[in-house]
Amino acid sequence: MRRYLGVFFFALCLRVLYLAIIGPATHATLVEDSYQYLIIAQNLLNHGAFSLETGPPFAPTIRRPPVYPAFLSILYMLRMYTTLQIAIVQAGLGALCCSLVFHLTKQIMTERRATLAACYCAVFPAGVALTSAVSAETLFTLLLLSSVALIMAGIRRKSALIIAGAGAMLSLSALCRPVSLPLTAIFAFTLALLSSRRLAVFFVLGSVLALAPWAVRTSIVSRAFEPIQGYSAANVYMASQWWINQKDYSAVMSGFEQSPYGLALRTAKDPEETARADRMGAELALRNISSSPKSYLLSRLKSWPYLFISSFGGPTLREGWARRSFGHLILKLCLLFLFSIAPLVLAFLSLRRVRENPTIAFCAAVWIFTLLVHLPLWIEYRFWAPAFPFLTICAFTPSLRVPYYGSVERVIGMLSRFASPYKRFPRQPKLQS
Q: Residue 320: which pLDDT band, with cuts at 50, 70 and 90?
A: low
N- to C-terminal Cα separation, the chain: 50
Mean predicted confidence (pLDDT) in 408-414? 43
What does the alpha-carbon distance between residue 348 and residue 368 come to, in Å, rounded to a whole number?
Answer: 9
Average pLDDT, the chain: 88
416 pLDDT more than 90: no
pTM of the model: 0.89
Report pLDDT digits (tens) over 6-36: 999 999 999 999 999 998 888 778 888 999 9
Q: Length of the chain, please?
A: 433
CB contact at 8 A, 302 and 283: no
Report pLDDT digits (tens) over 176-213: 999 999 999 999 999 999 989 999 999 999 999 999 99
Task: Give the pLDDT of residue 429.
Answer: 45
Report pLDDT digits (tens) over 57-96: 889 999 999 999 999 999 999 999 899 999 999 999 999 9
Q: Residues of 176-188 as b/e, b for ≥16 C-beta within 10 angstroms?
A: bbebbbebbebbb
Task: Give the pLDDT of residue 404.
Answer: 36
Please state which of the ranges 73-87, 108-122, 309-323 shows the lowest mean pLDDT.
309-323
Report pLDDT digits (tens) over 390-407: 999 999 986 555 443 344
Q: Residue 248: which pLDDT band, with cuts at 50, 70 and 90?
A: confident
What does the alpha-carbon distance between residue 91 and residue 35 come to, in Å, rounded to a whole number?
Answer: 20
Report pLDDT digits (tens) over 281-299: 999 999 999 999 999 999 9
Report pLDDT digits (tens) over 329-366: 888 888 899 999 999 999 999 898 888 889 999 999 99
Report pLDDT digits (tens) over 368-396: 999 999 999 999 889 999 999 999 999 99
* 65 three-state secondary structure: coil
Please spell the DSSP secondary structure of 225-294, one letter per residue: --SS-S-TTHHHHHHH-TTS-TT-HHHHHHHHHHSHHHHHHHH--SHHHHHHHHHHHHHHHHHHHHH-HH
Task: Give the pLDDT of residue 317.
Answer: 67
The contacts of residue 335 (CB under 8 Å, 6+ apart) are 125, 311, 312
What does the alpha-carbon distance between residue 349 and residue 49 come to, in Å, rounded to a whole number?
Answer: 49
- Of 361, 358, 365, the closest CA to residue 186 belongs to 365
Task: Give the pLDDT of residue 157.
Answer: 93
Helix (H) or strand (E) holding 320: helix 317-322
Task: Give the pLDDT of residue 426.
Answer: 43
What does the alpha-carbon distance between residue 302 and residue 297 come to, in Å, rounded to a whole number?
Answer: 9
Mean predicted confidence (pLDDT) in 42-71? 92
What does the alpha-carbon distance between residue 16 and residue 22 come to, in Å, rounded to a whole number?
Answer: 10
Mean predicted confidence (pLDDT) in 27-46? 90
Task: Give the pLDDT of residue 323.
Answer: 74
Q: Residue 325: which pLDDT band, with cuts at 50, 70 and 90?
A: confident
In whole angstroms, what separates CA 140 from the centre of its chain?
7
408 pLDDT more than 60: no
* Other CB atoms within 10 Å distance of the CB of residue 276: 17
CB contact at 8 A, 386 and 141: yes
Report pLDDT digits (tens) over 133-187: 999 999 999 999 999 999 999 999 999 999 999 999 999 999 999 999 999 999 9
